[in-house]
Structure 1
Amino acid sequence: MSGKRIAVLVSGGGTNLQALLDAQARGEIRSGEIAAVLSSKEGAYALERAAKAGIPGYVAARKSFPDNRAMTRAIVDRLQTLDIDLVVLAGFLHILTEEMVQAYPNRILNVHPALIPSFCGAGCYGLHVHEKALAYGVKVTGATVHFVTEEPDGGPIVLQKAVDIREDDTPETLQRRVMEEAEWQLLPRAVSLFCEDRLSVEGRLVRIRD
């Protein structure tokens, strides 16, 4: 395999990382390869997933740095040393400061478990997103893959997929279904589109070339 070099940033179990690894094994990520996995937490299970797939894992533990800016700079240095082309945030739980976006403009993808601009921004992550969707009473939720900018969850949208909410949903059941039906499908597709040079960003619009 050859093409663009991808780094996946994680903080925990790495279910979205696994979706990417599985897609890569099936040949669905064209013109790119996952070259590194970087965790903000020592002992994160995502690092085991990377090791099983033969992909180098690195740690930039948040507790090792005085603040998010110092951690961000260390991560950028590592990514540049590894000659990374695309950064994917897959359950990365820390806010990266502007140095990351400046180093990788329109080259960082994030998956968010809602249909942005609903239920997004500061404080909307993990189970909180699904709790908010159920509390609001929306009938449809879903997932969004977007480019990362300095505004949390505010970057140009690449792909979205809707997921119906059921009467008996709990935040946990909804979280699982959004992952299975939307996140795990959208993220590998968006990564492949980027690696195939099929995405162009025009202001807030992301165009996908045939």
Structure 2
Amino acid sequence: MKKILLFASGSGSNVENIIQYFKNNDDVIVVSVFSNNINAKVLDRALKYNVPTVVFNKEELHDGVVLKKIIELQPDLIVLAGFLWKFPEHIIAKYPNKIINIHPALLPKYGGKGMYGMHVHQAVLNNHEIETGITIHYVNENYDEGEFIFQKSVNIEDCKTAEEIANKIHSLEHKYFPKIICNLIT
């Protein structure tokens, strides 16, 4: 059985989508959801599916506490699904090419520190882009610079607000993220 460990900081719609995608799969299991935000809605979403959760602070992420918990779970793949902190190099080194992230733009555009969620969509809108999309990539020591695994674009010429762009991006994320995870892990 292959094990997926999810990291998230916010509402967790991608996490819930991934859990639902694999809930009846006998070969893959979501072993836990880790979050840096005790008030994150993602924790409620995980508990709804009886997926254990772990909440940690910045010190625990960097001093080895989180790594110890990860090692105990023995994940085959670590998935950042709306996790907003930079992932520590000591965890990346322990799990080379086993940590992936999804970014709500076509990297290398609109990536880097501070470029997440609505910040990305607003920047795309402000620059009058006619398309945007998603990028799923391996995590390395720099924000949004790991090797690309998958990109999918969407036309946004009809979008007048960042919220409209966000809705199109969420549709792409929900359609493709679980499938790419499944391809990587099986």
The TM tier, using the shorter chain, reads over 0.9
Secondary structure, in 3 states, of the residue corresponding to 1:41?
coil
Quote the Cα distance in structure 2 between the aligned partners of 1:99 and 1:32: 26
Using the alignment, how far apart are the partners of 2:35 and 2:88 within structure 1?
16
Contact (CA 8 Å) 1:159, 1:186: kept in 2 or not? no
1:192 partner amino acid = C
Read off the aligned partner of 1:177 and give its amino acid letter: K
Q: Which runs of 5+ in 1 are unaligned?
A: 197-210
Match for residue 185 of structure 2?
195
Residue aligned with 1:173, SS: helix
Distance, in Å, in 2 between the alignment partners of 1:126 and 1:168 is 16
Residue 69 (structure 1) aligns with = 62
**Are 1:147 and 1:156, in contact at CA under 8 Å, matched by a contact in 2?**
yes
What are the superposed Cα offsets for residues 91-132 of structure 1, whole Å, 9 maximum, x if unpaired? 111112211210111000100000111111122111111111
The offset of 1:166, in angstroms, is 3.0
CA distance in 2, matches of 1:153, 1:82: 26
Q: How many residues in Structure 1 have an aligned counterpart in Structure 2?
A: 186
Inter-partner Cα distance in structure 2 for 1:106 and 1:13: 26
Paired position in structure 1 for 2:6: 8
Question: How many Å apart are 1:153 and its aligned residue?
Answer: 0.6
Give the letter for the 1:69 counterpart. Answer: H
Counterpart pick for 1:82 among 66, 73, 85: 73
Shift of 1:161: 0.9
2:157 aligned counterpart, secondary structure: coil
Q: Tell me, in whole angstroms, the C-alpha distance in 1 between the residues paired with 2:37 and 2:81.
A: 13
Q: Determine if the alignment matches structure 1 residue 58 to structure 2 residue 48.
A: no
Determine the structure 2 residue equivalent to 1:208.
Answer: none
Query: Does structure 1 conserve the Cα–Cα contact (< 8 Å) formed by 2:23 and 2:29?
Result: no
Calculate the TM-score normalised by the size of structure 2.
0.93
Residue correspondence of structure 1 range 23-172 to structure 2 within 5 A: 23-25=21-23, 27=25, 31-62=27-58, 65=59, 69-70=62-63, 73-172=64-163
- Partners in 1 of 2:160 and 2:180 — Cα distance? 28
Distance 2:170 2:159 in 1: 18
CA deviation string 1:164-194 (max 9, x = no partner): 11334211121121111x1112210111011
AA aligned opposite 1:48: D
The answer as to whether partners of 1:31 and 1:192 remain within 8 angstroms in 2 is: no
Asked whether the 8 Å contact 2:105–2:120 carries over to 1, the reply is yes
Question: Is the CA contact 1:144–1:183 (under 8 Å) kept in the aligned structure 2?
Answer: no
Amino acid at match of 1:13: S
State TM-score, norm by structure 1. Answer: 0.83
Would the alpha carbon gap of residues 136 and 89 (structure 1) be closer, same or farther in structure 2, given more than 3 Å must change?
same
Ranges in structure 2 where 5+ consecutive residues have no aligned partner? none
Dislocated runs of 4+, deviation >3 Å:
none
The 1:194/1:140 distance shift into structure 2, 3 A limit, reads same
Q: Is the 8 A contact 2:137 2:149 kept in 1?
A: yes
Question: Counterpart of 2:150 in 1: which secondary structure?
Answer: strand
Q: Secondary structure at the match of 1:118?
A: coil
Q: Deviations over 1:62-119 (max 9, x none)?
A: 3xx28x633xx32211110111121000111111221121011100010000011111
Counterpart in 2 of 1:207?
A: none
- In 1, the alpha carbon distance for the partners of 2:93 and 2:148 equals 19
Instruction: State the shift of 1:26 in Å.
Output: 5.8
Q: Identity of paired residues, percent? A: 32
Partner Cα separation in structure 1 for residue 140 and residue 160 of structure 2 = 32
